[in-house]
Amino acid sequence: MTPLAERNASRSAPVSVETDQSCRSLLATLAGQGKLLTVDQEIDPVYDLSALLSLTHETFAVRANRIKGYDLPVFGNMLSDLDRIAMAMNVPRENIQSALIDSIRQPIAPVVIDKAPVQEKVFESDVLLRLPVPTFFDKETGPYISAGLMVARDPETGLGNASYARLKVLGPNEALIGIAPNHHLAIMARKAAESGKPLPFAVVLGAHPIIQLAACLYLGLGDDEMHCAGALFKEPVRMARCLTSDILVPAEAEIVLEGHIHADKPIVEGLVSEYHGMYEDYGSGVLATFHTMTSRSDAMFQVIQPGYHAEHIYLGAVPIAASLKAQLARVILNVGEVAVTASGCGRNNVVVQINNPRPGQARRAMAVCWGAVSIIKNVTIVDSDVDPWDIAAVELAKSTRMRADRDILIVNGLPADRSEPQEDGFVVAKTGYDATRKAGDRKEGYDKAQPPAASYDRMRDLLAEIAPGVSF
């Protein structure tokens, strides 16, 4: 083990296995609940697999056993709503956010084990040709690995990083990797290129959902998402050392590609889909090369249906919301739940709950959100009786608690992510909606018109008798 690797992991092998750290237990649970669709008919990876996942993205996780031209089965649509995310994290839905925040505050370092399921098989040539990589959308220019969780180390500090990025397959061992220039992986790859070297990295497919969610947290450069995953498991992530580098990968994942990022070798990408459901033209990505692939003996290939599809939306939205709440809580002690909504593409719109907001706090929260994450555009502030994930409830608050001339803020020229649908020169106008109740606004107050509680109780009892099993 190199000194750099020791900073990121304590070695202890073998480790007694307590929690399943694979994605298989969630798939089994979904199957038990009738939420996993198993498809045994042959599916073409060119467009048809994408159409299948698109049609089912809000209803079923999918396991497609026969992909035309390939041996590996495919699974997708695993984490397409908050209930599944809660199930995967083994917490009640209302505790998803607090568990993620706790994981940022009290991370647990991984351990390295010797015998890893993900290294049962080893391939050393034509590695990308072995994978049933889908061609998703009609204007994209090739097949994309969409569920690649990238693991790398900072070449200066040795500190680890995990994140998602797309890979467009270009040849048996070459791909284009598309990383936003401000993302930590891109920073690390540029640092390596400046010293004349490619950056060693690994692409992990089919890790446990906790590891996938942790990889999407917005942390500081040098804060390793894998340590947050450990906190979410309440035990260290069991990692294996790559066969060709000192990169550590989750030992119970399905497939790992080992390779290098060449930040000094740009390649024009063409149109690519984004979370907002349209295409973007980012110009160039950079070259990634691969020399080794390891896998489980019965590996499955993971696909995350890209574009405006549920898993892509929620996998990004839930960790961004938790990261924002962690930032907000530093200055707004009475902040409640924070939501990054599906209707805001899981990236652009945030709703912040504040408990009894004091004058000025709503605008302060807007400023924190705009300052913390450039992809956030529209910020709505609601009272603590409004569920920020329930867009109908948020709209109701906006239409009943807000005066447009007083409570809407528009700020021009704020920094925008390059993925922002309306960015112009990497800036965009952003809006803040203060949809909280203000003292003196309504002489009638805000009481809800409803029957007394005792009548509700009596009628609930009656309904339980005449319509058992139905919740009202």
Ligand X SMILES: Cc1cc2nc3c(=O)[nH]c(=O)nc-3n(C[C@H](O)[C@H](O)[C@H](O)COP(=O)(O)O)c2cc1C
Give contact residues for ligand X (rule: CB under 6 A): 161, 163-166, 178-180, 183-184, 216, 218, 304, 312, 315-316
C-alpha 449/C-alpha 249 separation (Å) is: 56
CB of 342 to ligand X, least distance (A): 13
Question: Looking at residue 127, what DSSP letter applies?
Answer: G
Pick the closer one to ligand X by CB: 14 or 222: 222
Closest among 53, 85, 388, 380 to 209, alpha carbons compared = 85
Pick the closer one to ligand X by CB: 180 or 427: 180
Question: Looking at residue 95, what DSSP letter applies?
Answer: G
**Can you tell me whether residue 320 is helix, strand or coil?**
helix
CB of 220 to ligand X, least distance (A): 9
DSSP string, 228-262: HHHHHHTSPPEEEE-SSSS-EEETT-SEEEEEEEE
At 68, list the tokens: 């035309």
Pick the closer one to ligand X by CB: 132 or 178: 178
Pick the closer one to ligand X by CB: 78 or 111: 78
At 293, list the tokens: 């692939």
Pick the closer one to ligand X by CB: 338 or 381: 338
CB of 404 to ligand X, least distance (A): 33
C-beta separation of 53 from 29 below 8 A: no
Q: In the complex, which residue's CB is closest to ligand X?
A: 163
Within a 10 A sphere around the Cβ of 4, how many other Cβ atoms?
16
Pick the closer one to ligand X by CB: 29 or 419: 419
CB of 96 to ligand X, least distance (A): 15
C-beta separation of 212 from 176 below 8 A: no
CB of 290 to ligand X, least distance (A): 17
The alpha carbon dihedral of 60, 386, 398, 320 has a sign of: negative
Closest among 376, 436, 445, 365 to 406, alpha carbons compared = 436
CB of 144 to ligand X, least distance (A): 9
C-alpha 174/C-alpha 166 separation (Å) is: 13
CB of 369 to ligand X, least distance (A): 16
C-alpha 93/C-alpha 89 separation (Å) is: 9
Pick the closer one to ligand X by CB: 57 or 312: 312
CB of 121 to ligand X, least distance (A): 25
Pick the closer one to ligand X by CB: 210 or 402: 210
C-alpha 321/C-alpha 300 separation (Å) is: 30
